[in-house]
Structure 1
Amino acid sequence: MASKEERDYLAQYIDISNARLSDNDVSLLNDFINNIGSHFERTTSYDGWSSDGRYTRTATNEYIIESDYTITHNYSYNDDDGQEGSHSTSYSEARDIINILKAVPELL
């Protein structure tokens, strides 16, 4: 469990009010605070099937550590049949940030 001093330091930047933090979580959040402006993008391509037949989808996931100590996740896709879409989500709570950093270690 993180010490009171560590929690007080993190609380200056991130909402940790409802988070149980392990030592590893504290380390990740400290790295997060020190990597403002970091960016990672991953593009994947895969085939799928619809009622119109086979299509190829190219999907891009972009993660940005913002200056307000949030992570923005931008998702977009393009299908070879012309369909496309996108959405963006911002994460500010400690547990959400930790889960993203564990899933996308390249962001740090």
Structure 2
Amino acid sequence: MDRHEKKKLRDYIGEYLDVSGTRLTDDEAAFLGNFLDEYDKTYRGRVVTPRPRTRDGWGSDGKYTYRETFTYTFTDDVGIREDYEYQDDDGLHRRSTKVIKDARGVLNWLRAHR
């Protein structure tokens, strides 16, 4: 891929995802270009919920068990919303949400969840 093609592709990706400060190889740029081309029919609205993780931990009061649940939703705008939920056997419950809207974050998520 020559410089002009890559710049054009990077500009296209930049319309939807934050590419500032992100270095992309030719393969990564092409992959993200295909991801954006297919987003509406393949990804938009899709929800991915891996199996919840239950683990044991240790604290000052001894052993406790906690459960973590992640839910990933491909948003209407190009991006991935991550909803995280934590609950332990002492009743502690936390939730948080973040949205992945940068090129590197989307690439890393897609690699980790193939």
**Where do 4+ consecutive residues of structure 1 move more than 4 Å?**
none
> What is the SS of the residue equivalent to 2:82?
strand
- The one-letter code of the counterpart of 2:16 is Y
* Structure with more helix by fraction: 2
1:58 aligned onto 2:67? yes
* RMSD, aligned CA: 2.1
Distance, in Å, in 2 between the alignment partners of 1:45 and 1:28 is 34
Q: Is the 8 A contact 2:87 2:93 kept in 1?
A: yes
Compute the displacement of 1:3 (Å): 2.3
1:21 aligned onto 2:29? no
Compute the displacement of 1:64 (Å): 1.3
TM normalised by structure 2 equals 0.76
Identity of aligned residues (%): 35
* Structure with more strand by fraction: 1
Q: Is the 8 A contact 1:28 1:101 kept in 2?
A: no
Match of 2:44 among 36, 42, 45: 36
Higher relative contact order (CA 8 A, sep 6+): 1
- Where structure 2 has 5 or more consecutive residues not aligned to the other structure, the ranges are none
The structure with the largest alpha-carbon Rg is 2
Distance, in Å, in 1 between the alignment partners of 2:30 and 2:93 is 38
